[in-house]
Amino acid sequence: MQKTVSLTVNGKPVSATVEGRTLLVQLLREQLGLTGTHVGCDTSQCGACVVHVDGEAVKACTLLAVQADGHSVLTIEGVATGDTLHPMQEAFRNNHALQCGFCTPGMVMSALDLVKNNPNPTERQIREYLEGNLCRCTGYHNIVLAIAEGAAVMRGEAPPNVHGAAAE
Amino acid sequence: MTTIGTPVRRREDYRFLTGGGTYTDDINRPGQLHAFILRSPRAHAQIRGIDTTAAQRAPGVVAVYTGKDMAADGIGGLPCGWQIHSKDGSPMAEPPHPVLAVDRVRYVGDPVAVIVAETLAQARDAAELVNVDYVAQPAAIDPVTALQPGAPQVNSEAPGNLCYDWQLGDLAAVDAAFSKAARIVKLDLTNNRLVPNAMEPRAAIGEFNRATGEYTLYTTSQNPHVIRLLMGAFVLHIPEARLRVVAPDVGGGFGSKIYHYAEEAIVTWVSGKVNRPVKWTAERSESFMSDAHGRDHVTHVELALDAEAKFLALKVSTVANMGAYLSTFAPCIPTYLYGTLLAGTYTTPAIYCETKAVFTHTVPVDAYRGAGRPEATFLLERIVDLAADEIGMDPAELRRRNFIPKEAYPYQTPVALQYDSGDYRATLELALEAADYQGFEARRREAMAHGKLRGLGIATYIEACGIAPSAVVGSLGARAGLFESAAVRVHPTGSVSVLTGSHSHGQGHETTFSQLVADTLGIPIDSVEIVHGDTAKIPYGMGTYGSRSLAVGGTAIVKAMDKVIAKGRKIASHLLEVAEADVEFKDGKFSVAGTDRSKTLGEVALTAYVPHNFPHDELEPGLDETAFYDPKNFTFPSGAHIGQVAVVNFTASDDFGRIINPLIVAGQVHGGLAQGIGQALLEGCVYDKASGQLLTGSYNDYAMPRADDLPAFALSTNTTLCTHNPLGVKGCGEAGAIGAPAAITNALVDALKPLGVRHLDMPATPEKVWRIIQQHRTPPAAE
C-alpha cells in the first residue's frame, strides 16, 4: 500500500510517496536525503534518530511516515541559523561533547527538548533526561556540561567555559 | 605561536553538529541495490540444503547467493592476521572461515545467504522465503567445558576445540619462588564477555565499474588499507590497483571495526555479479550477533609474596574464548597483548602465563578497547588487593612497596617488554590525593551510620600502546607490519594537506594532527587539511587501533614534515643566495641567521611548483614528502584509578606523556572509563549454555551505560615523556577501559568486605550485589 504524505520539514513543505510500513526516519534519510538523523538500534532505545514533531521530541524510528502527514518536523539540519550554530550546538562544540558524532544529532535534539521544558536543569536532571539517548564515546561527562552551558546561554547567561581557551 | 597543549576546539564538530557528517549508510550510489544477510538461527547445525527458488522469484529480488555460489567463484575464506605457536612449538589450529557458511553453521548469526533486491524491505521479505534445511547439532558454548573430552566439536581442524596452548615466562623460576614464599594468594575469576556497540552499526557498499574493472568498497572501517589487502589478496583476488576502499566518517569503533568482515566481501563480490552497487547496513540486532565480541576469559591466578610483602612470583592460567572462527587479530589478544602486561607496574621478578584458546559456537572474539590489557590489569589488581587484605596491609602501601621505581628505566620485565618511562608512585599519590584517600575511613563510617556500605578501590595499570616494532611483532606471529605512513603535501600557496594512514572515528585527528602541523610549519590551523580513510588518496598505512595514532601516525607526520623543512631549507638557501647551513626555519619562515632576510613557507612552496628560479641540478621540483615510521618500542602509559561505589566518585590519574590537546585527551579518558565502568557494573554478553542462543541480543537485554549510571569524572595527569618517539607521546585511548574495571570491583569488594565477601565477578549488577548481600548477611551483633 502506497500513500502520498505532505509535511513540513525544517520549515519547507515536502511531499513523498511512502509504504504503510515506512518509518519517519526512513522517509527523512532515504527519500528526503536528510541523513543527519541516524539509526543506531532497532528497539527504539539509542535516541540517535530523535527529531521534533510539532515541537515535541520524538524518536523518528517509532513513528510511521504516514503518521507525520500534515505535521511539522524539525531535524538537526534545521537547527542552526544559516552558518551560525544554535547555542546548544555551540555548547556541544565548546565542551567537546561529541567524538564520533553519530549520537550527536539525537543528543542535541533531546537537549533542546529538555531545555524547552526545564530551562535550568540540574546535573542530575540532565543525566536522567538522557535516559533515552545512548553515547558510546564520551562517557556523557562533557555532554552533561554542554547541555548545562547551552541552557545557560539560552537563558541569556554567559557560558562558564570550564575547559579554558585554546591558543590561537 | 603554539597550540600544542591547549584545548583547541575540534575542527570536525561543525559537520557533525549540523547533520553534515558522511557515514557509510549516508552514501547512496546510482542504481544501488540493497542486501539482506540471512543468518543462522542456530548455534550449531549441519546444512543439508538451501532452497532459494521462491526467494529468487519474490518482487524486486535481483539475486540470491549462498556459500556454494561463492565457492564456485573461487572465493577464499576470511584470513587471520596473527599466528600463535603452542608450548610444543606447533602452530595454532586455523580452521577455514567461509564468508557464507557452506555445509555447517557455527554460531547464531553465522551468515548463510545474501538476498539482493531493489529495496531493503523487498530483500528482507524475500529472506523469509529462503528455505534452509538445518540438522541441529549440540553446541559448545562455555569455553571451559568446550575443552573437556566429549564436548561438541566446533571445527574438525581443531581437535578438542583447542586453538593453541601458549605460554610465556620462566615456569621453573616461578615454581622456585613459590616454594620459598611466605604467603601465596589464589583467585579464580572471569573477565566478562562484552559487545563493543559502537553507536554506528557496521555498513558496507560494494560498487563495480564495468568500464574500468575497478571495485570500490565503502565500509565502516578503522583501517581501510588493511581491508583492501586482506579482502583483495585473500578473499576476492582483486589486485590493489583495481580495488579502492573508503572508510568515510565512522561512528565509533573501539576495535570492532578493525577486522575484515564477511559482509564487506559479500557486497563487493555481489556488486560485480549483478553489476550494480550493493548496500548492506547492520540492524543493531545483527551487530550483536556479528560484530566481534571482546574479553571472555576464565582465569586462575596465584601470587607469591615474601615476609616483607614483596611480590616474588605470579602464575596465571587462562582459558580464552575465540568464538567459532578466528577473527582477524584474535589470536594475539590473550597472548602478546595480555601475558606481556602481567608485570603491570610492579617489580615481580618471575612471571609465568599460559593461555588455552578455545573454539566455541559463539560469535568470534577479538580486540575490544584495551584488548588483553584490561584482562591482565583486572587479574593483577584483584590479586594485589586480595593479598593486601590477607596480610592486613593498606592496599596503597602494598602497591608502593612493589612499584618499579622511577630510577629503574629502562626497565626489563620478565615477560618480554622493556618499559621506557614512568613514575607510578607519583601518579598513585596524585590519585590518592584527588580521591581524599585519607578521609575515606571517615566517609565509610558515616555511610555505615546511615545503614550503607561504602568502598574504595584502587587500580594501577600499565598499558602498551602503538604495538611495535614490526620486526619484533613479526617474530611473535604478526602477519603484517605495524608502522604508519604520512604524506605532507605543501601546496603552491603554502596550505598543507596531510595524507595519513591513521583513521579517525571519533578521536579528533583532524584537530590534533592539524595542531601538530600548524605549530611545526608555523601556519594557521585553517591552512591544514587532514585526509584519511581512502586508499585512493592516502599512502599504505595500518589505521587506528591500540592507541597508536599520535605515537605512531603522529610521528610519521613529524618525519614527513622534517623532510619538507629540509628540502625547503635548500630551496630557501638558493633564493636567498646563502649557504644552506645559514638558513633556519622558525615560525613559518626560512630566515638567514642574524639578518631580517627570509622567505615564507608559501614563497618557498610557490618556487617549488613554479620553478623558474630553482636549483634544478640539485633538487626535484615540488614540496611533497612521504614518511613511514616504525616505532622502536611500544609506548607505556600508566595510571592509577580509584573508584568509590556506587559509583559515587571516580578519580583517574594518568601518565600519557606529552599532551597535544588536553580537551581531546580528557574525552578519550571519559569514554574509556564509561566502558570500563560498564564492564564492571552493567555489561555482560550472555549465551544460553545449552542452546547457544544469544540472550543479550539487543539494548533491551544488554545494559549499555547511560548518563544516569555514571558519575562526573575527576581527572588528573602526571607526565613523564616517552623516550623513543620525537613527540614524547604515549597514547590515551584505552586507559579508562583498562583501569576502571579493577578499580570499581576493588571498591565493591572493599564495601562488601564486612560481610565476608572475598571476590565478585563482573558485571556486579544491582541484582548480583543484592543476592550476595542476602547470602552473606548475618544478624547484627548486639552492642
> Do residue A19 and residue B121 have CB atoms under 8 angstroms apart?
yes
**Residue B439 predicted with pLDDT over 60:** yes
Contacts of B674 in chain A (CB under 8 A): 136, 138-140
Q: Which residues of B touch A75 (CB under 8 A)?
A: 19
Place of cell 606481556: B340
Q: Does the pLDDT value for residue B349 go beyond 80?
A: yes
Give the SS3 label for residue B421.
Answer: coil
The answer to whether B19 contacts A143, with C-beta atoms less than 8 Å apart, is no
* Candidate from A29, A75, A136 with C-beta closest to B198: A136
Answer whether B199 sits within 8 Å of A76, measured CB to CB. Answer: no
Q: Do domains B13-137+200-251+257-290 and B377-468+633-776 have the same CATH topology?
A: no
CB-based contacts of A117, cutoff 8 Å, min separation 6: none
User: Cβ-count burial of B578 within 10 angstroms (0-12 exposed, 13-18 middle, 19+ buried)?
Assistant: middle
% helix / strand / coil in chain A, to the nearest 5? 35, 20, 45
Question: Coil, strand or helix: which one is B571?
Answer: helix
Please indicate if any CB of chain A lies within 8 Å of the CB of B416: no
Domain A87-154: CATH class, spelled out: mainly alpha
CATH 3.30.365.10 applies to domain B483-629: yes
Residues of chain B positioned with their CB less than 8 A from the CB of A137? 199, 252, 506, 667, 671
Judge: A38–B251 Cβ closer than 8 Å, yes or no. yes
Residues of B in contact with A46 (CB under 8 A): 199, 284, 699
What gap in Å lies between CA B160 and CA B116, rounded to an integer?
A: 38
Q: Which residues fall within 8 angstroms of residue B392, CB to CB, at 6 or more apart?
A: none
Which residues touch B400 (CB under 8 Å, ≥6 apart)? B425, B428
Q: Which residue has the higher pLDDT, A92 or B548?
A: A92
Q: To the nearest 5 percent, what fractions of chain B are helix, strand and coil?
A: 30, 25, 45
Determine contact: B641 vs chain A, CB below 8 A.
Answer: no
Quickly list DSSP for B245-281: EE--B----TTTTSSPPHHHHHHHHHHHHHTS-EEEE
Say yes or no to pLDDT of B99 above 50.
yes
Taking CA–CA distances from B284, the nearest residue in chain A reads: A41
CB contact under 8 A, B707 and A128: yes
Q: Answer yes or no: is pLDDT of B631 > 90.
A: no
Q: What angle do CA B107, B219, B730 make, to 5 degrees?
A: 95
Contact B310, B188 (CB under 8 A): no
Nearest to B45 by CA among B522, B597, B555, B693: B693
* Residue of chain B minimizing CA distance to A33: B26
Please, how many CA atoms are within 13 Å of residue A9, restricted to the half-sphere of its CB? 24
**Confidence bin at B318 (pLDDT 50/70/90):** very high
Chain B residues within 8 A of A128 when measuring between CB atoms: 707-708
* B276 backbone φψ class: left, alpha, beta (φ>0; ψ -120 to 50): beta
The number of residues in chain A equals 168
Grid cell for residue B57? 522469484
Cβ of B14 under 8 Å from any chain A Cβ? yes
Return the C-alpha cell found at B2: 603554539
The answer to whether residue B728 scores a pLDDT higher than 90 is: no
Predicted ipTM of the assembly? 0.97
Residue B664 contacts A where some CB pair is shorter than 8 Å: yes
Residue B783 pLDDT: 44
- How far is residue B743 from each of residues A150, B386, B426, B642, measured CA to CA in Å? 33, 13, 18, 5
**Omega prior to B469 cis, within 30 of 0:** yes
Per-residue pLDDT at B161 = 98
* Contact (CB<8Å) A76/B18: yes
**A140/B678 Cα distance (integer angstroms):** 13
Residues B200, A139: C-beta atoms closer than 8 Å: no
Q: Do B7 and A164 touch (CB under 8 A)?
A: yes
A47 vs chain B: nearest CA distance in angstroms?
A: 10
pLDDT average, residue stretch B346-365: 98
Interface mutation target, options B4, B13, B715, chain A, most CBs of A under 10 Å: B13
Q: How many CB atoms lie within 10 A of CB B118?
A: 16
In the block, residue with C-alpha cell 602498551: B464
Element (H, E) at A129: helix A123-129
Q: Where in chain A is the domain with CATH 3.10.20.30?
A: 2-77
B 199-238 residues inside an 8 A Cβ radius of A: 199-201
**For strand B214-219 and strand B243-246, is the pairing parallel, antiparallel, or unpaired?**
parallel
Identify the helix (H) or strand (E) that includes residue B228.
helix B224-230
Q: What is the mean pLDDT of residues B429-444?
A: 94
Mean pLDDT, residues B44-52 = 98
Q: In whole angstroms, give the CA distance from residue A44 to residue B72.
A: 41
Give the pLDDT of residue A17. 97
Q: Which of B9, B28, B250 sits opposite A93 (nearest CB)?
A: B9
Q: What percent of chain B has pLDDT over 90?
A: 84
* Nearest C-alpha in A relative to B650: A141
Residues B61 and B126: beta-carbon distance below 8 Å: yes
Taking only residues 674 to 703 of chain B, the set having a beta carbon closer than 8 angstroms to any beta carbon of chain A reads 674-675, 698-700
Mean pLDDT score, B169-188:
98
Residue B548's pLDDT is: 86
Residue B204, Cα to own-chain centre: how many angstroms? 20
Give strand pairing partners of B135.
B46
B200 → closest Cβ in A29, A102, A142 = A102
Dihedral angle over CA of A107, A113, A117, A119, nearest 10: 60
B294 lies within 8 A of chain A by CB? no
Nearest residue of B to residue A140 by CA position? B707
Q: Which residues in chain A are classed under CATH 1.10.150.120?
A: 87-154
Listed residue (B464, B160, B189, B146) closest to B316, CA to CA: B189
Q: A43 and B8 in contact by Cβ < 8 A?
A: no
Predicted confidence (pLDDT) at residue B779 exceeds the cutoff of 70: no
Residues of chain A contacting residue B125, judged by C-beta atoms under 8 Å apart? none
B631: preceding bond cis by omega (within 30 degrees): no
| DSSP element (H, E) containing B747 | helix B735-752
According to the model, what pLDDT value does residue B782 have?
Answer: 47
Chain A residue with minimum CA distance to B7? A166
Round to whole Å and give the CA distance between B549 and B539. Answer: 15
SS3 B304: strand
pTM of the model: 0.96
Grid coordinates belonging to A5: 504524505
Spatial separation of the C-alpha atoms in residues A37 and A79, rounded to whole Å? 12
Distance of alpha carbon B399 from alpha carbon B459, whole angstroms: 9
Query: For chain A, how far is it from start to end, CA to CA, in angstroms?
Result: 58
Q: Is the pLDDT of residue A150 over 90?
A: yes
CB of B291 within 8 Å of any CB in chain A? no
Q: What is the CATH number of domain B13-137+200-251+257-290?
A: 3.90.1170.50
CB-defined contacts A:B, below 8 A: 198
* Range A2-77 classified under CATH 3.10.20.30: yes
Mean pLDDT of chain B: 94
Cell numbers describing residue B528? 591544514
* Domain map (residue ranges) of chain B: 13-137+200-251+257-290, 377-468+633-776, 483-629
From the CA of B121, how many Å to the nearest CA of chain A? 9
Best of B8, B17, B222, B369 to mutate (most A CBs within 10 Å, chain A): B17
Using CA atoms, how far apart are residues B188 and B165, in angstroms rounded to an integer?
19
B714 touches chain A (CB under 8 A): no
Chain A CB within 8 Å of residue B138 CB: no
Cβ atoms B483, B552 nearer than 8 A: yes
* B508: nearest CA partner in chain A: A99
- pLDDT higher than threshold 60 for residue B646: no
Distance of CA B308 to the CA centre of its chain: 38
CATH T-level fold of B377-468+633-776: Aldehyde Oxidoreductase; domain 4 (3.30.365)
Distance from the Cα of residue B595 to its chain's centroid: 51
B325 contacts B104 by C-beta, under 8 angstroms:
no
Q: Which amino acid is located at B126 in the chain? A: A
Phi and psi angles of residue B230, each rounded to the nearest 5 degrees, phi first: -65, -50
Residue range B208-233: average pLDDT? 97
